[in-house]
Structure 1
Amino acid sequence: METVETLHMNKGAGETSYAMNSSLQRKIISLTKQATEKAIMEIICSKSWPIMKMGIADLGCSSGPNALRVILEIVEAINATSNMLDRPTPKELMLYLNDLFTNDFNNTFASLPSFHQKIRQEKKNNQTKNNNTRYFDSTCFVAAVPGTFYGRLFPSESIHFLHSSSSLHWLSRVPSGLEDESRRRLNKGKLYISHNTPNCVLEAYSQQFQNDFSYFLESRSQEMAHEGHMVLSLMGRESRDPTSVNGFYQWELLAQALMTMVSEGIVEEEKVDSFNAPYYACCYEELKMVIEKEGSFMVNSHETYEIDWDEGMELEIRGEGFARAMRAVVESILEYHFGSHIMDDLFGRYAQLVDHHLSNARAKLITFIISLVKRH
């Protein structure tokens, strides 16, 4: 299964939409703010500054309030840093929003008038604060760039700062090698890696991630300008062991919900056995190894954060809340494989399993935030 054909966050602004169920991703974006501000300061302090045009990209932007929030915070950081250092801002900011072809770009661009209004208001505020303050006078151009980031997206040396949040744990495709020579499924009853996943399946997932992330870095190295910076966040795991619980348990409970439906004759067992998520939660050592081997970037900084599944959710609805958040992200690929008719039932069962799990243990997601600089 090619991810580009099936994966998109739930569209619109309804109850199960990504726009209404992306608070966990918003939390992660807030955690990248410090790394983003530091990277922008280094760009503005570099020998290549000032520049007339600055290319900025957000890869895996999705839709809803988070998409424009990211680029607004980047624009504000450029303005604030330029003022603090008394350095000129670029005349033009080229702001590129990237996601897969099936992304709900319409939802995002419907919010563009309010984005431009905030930019205009910031100019006015800066002008009235202090006549000696250099106010923000860049013109912002916003464009969609649909397509997979596992490959080229932009002209050579056109991007100065690149951001990607909660996206690079999605693989370009389901790994090959998940069946034996007789086409027997090797990860039966599971949707992803689990405690008893065979080593050959673990190796296939790891290799697919390494191939994809290396290609991502190679593509970006051609697109990034001299001294260009990237700030990336992605789901991961603390342990080098891919079967450590923090790396997969949200998928384990979803598999359990499906297997109860198999036992009741609602879903065919073969359907579950033949599904494998195009997802991989790497450890930091894997990330570092690929970066060093590919060689185009060096690590400027990295941080590891723990985020509770029920972050910011009320106690009595946390199972339902996390289930909606998961549904907003993975429903498209599950619907493609299992059909839309089981989704309400599936995620109702999933909410109950999540609620029970959270009543007995703390459940957390591991997020890596890594800042990279293009090598000379």
Structure 2
Amino acid sequence: MEVGQALRMNAGIGESSYAENSLLQKNVISLTKGVAEEAISDLYCGTLPTSLAIADLGCSSGPNTLFLVSELIKAVEKLCQKLNHESHEYQVFLNDLPGNDFNTVFQFLGSFKQELRNEMEGSSGSPCYFSGVPGSFYGRIFRNKSLHFVHSSYSLHWLSQVPEGIENNKENIYMASTSLPNVLRAYYEQFQKDFSCFLRCRAEELVGEGRMVLTFLGRRSEDPSSKECYYIWELLATALSDMVLEELVEEELLDSFNIPRYTPTPSEVQLDVIKEGSFAINRLETSELNWNVYDSEFSLPEAMNDGGYNVAKYMRAVAEPLLVSHFGEGIIDEVFCR
């Protein structure tokens, strides 16, 4: 499986799309919004740039893509008003892999800009210029010293490739309690390699006083095969294994399928940042969210009050392109029904 081609969220705005099934990620962005606003405010007050270049890495598509960008721009504009400064120009770079649904993002830019202008009453106007930047962030994608602020949410736990040397991870599609030590080691080594490359590239692209806010899907346990990491993927593996027994899926295809992701601990992230050496960590925090993101105070259709239904829809929006690239489209409805 070529991860660069297969790894993307479900496109469009349909029932199974990422746009319609990314409330969990929206809650994560909302949870970390204060950290990002503080970071960009510190950057502005410390450097007083005449314009700001902001990059969102792993932007995906749907309502989340422009949400944080809007909050960052509003935070800076409030500072400008407070300090009696002129409004700034903003260059916003939206990055994701080439298979990302950039078209849906661009279709909403006009309404986004109008809404932003309406929300910033009293501002003299802040021109925003948007660019789509397809490519892997595990390599250089911007000019030297061209960025002021980098944001990435729910993206860096995805690896650049499936780790090598894990052919003996049969009957699993990810790290699991039955995975052998070499599998766990290979996943961590791939994460280290990818994350170090990410940091090295961003160090070259950010200005000297630039800031980054990175949000990972991670784990608390020091055991990479703990259930908090693999439980959801184990459910998917069980569904696929049952379909192998019923001869609906080829056993060889299942044996050769593994998910390219790693959920690090805070200490692993800290160690890799220190080891790479380009950045200092100002804040390192952990939070926990419920998978069933729909608030019970709202009146919802009966199916949406079913946590299993919600998780299956979320997983389909995220995992369907990977499954289609490996198994084909014919099994998708059956897998997620199970």
* SS of equivalent residue, structure 2 residue 285: strand
**How far off is 1:307 after superposition?**
1.1
Could you tell me which residue of structure 1 aligns to residue 26 of structure 2?
26
Match of 2:93 among 91, 96, 99: 96
Find 1:83's aligned residue among 81, 84, 102. 81
Q: 2:64 aligns with which of 59, 63, 66?
A: 66
Amino acid at match of 2:69: I
AA paired with 1:55?
A
CA deviation string 1:68-113 (max 9, x = no partner): 11211111111123333x1525631101100010100010111011
Question: How many residues get paired?
Answer: 331
TM-score by length of 2: 0.95
Give 1:31 shift.
1.1
Correspondent of 1:198 among 176, 180, 184: 180
Deviation digits for residues 141-169 of structure 1 (CA, Å, limit 9, x no counterpart): 01101111001111111111111010000
Structure 2: stretches of 5+ with no match in the other structure: 297-303
| 1:145 partner SS | strand
Structure 1 match to 2:102: 105
Name which of 346, 349, 365 aligns with 2:335: 346
What is the TM-score when the length of structure 1 is the normalising length?
0.85
- Equivalent residue number for residue 163 of structure 2: 175
Structure 2 residue matching 1:302: 3-state secondary structure: coil
* Aligned residue in 1 for 2:52: 54
> Hey, what does 2:321 align to over in structure 1?
332
CA RMSD of aligned residues (A): 1.3
> How far, CA to CA, are the matches of 1:154 and 1:240 in structure 2?
35
Shift of 1:120: 2.1
Structure 1 229/87 Cα, relative in aligned 2: closer, same or farther at 3 Å?
farther
Range that drifts further, 136-145 or 249-258: 136-145
Instruction: Give the alignment partner of residue 264 of structure 1, picking from 242, 246, 250.
Output: 246
- 1:236-255 CA-partner distances (Å, limit 9, x unpaired): 11011101111111111110
Q: Which runs of 5+ in 1 are unaligned?
A: 127-134, 180-185, 350-376
Following the alignment from structure 1 to structure 2, what is the Cα–Cα distance between the partners of residues 236 and 177? 23
**1:208 Cα deviation (Å)?**
0.2
CA distance in 1, matches of 2:124, 2:313: 39
In the other structure, the counterpart of 2:197 is: 215
Asked whether the equivalents of residues 313 and 321 of structure 1 are also in contact (C-alpha less than 8 Å), the reply is: no
**Runs of 4 or more consecutive aligned structure 1 residues displaced over 3 Å after TM superposition:** 313-316
Identity %: 47
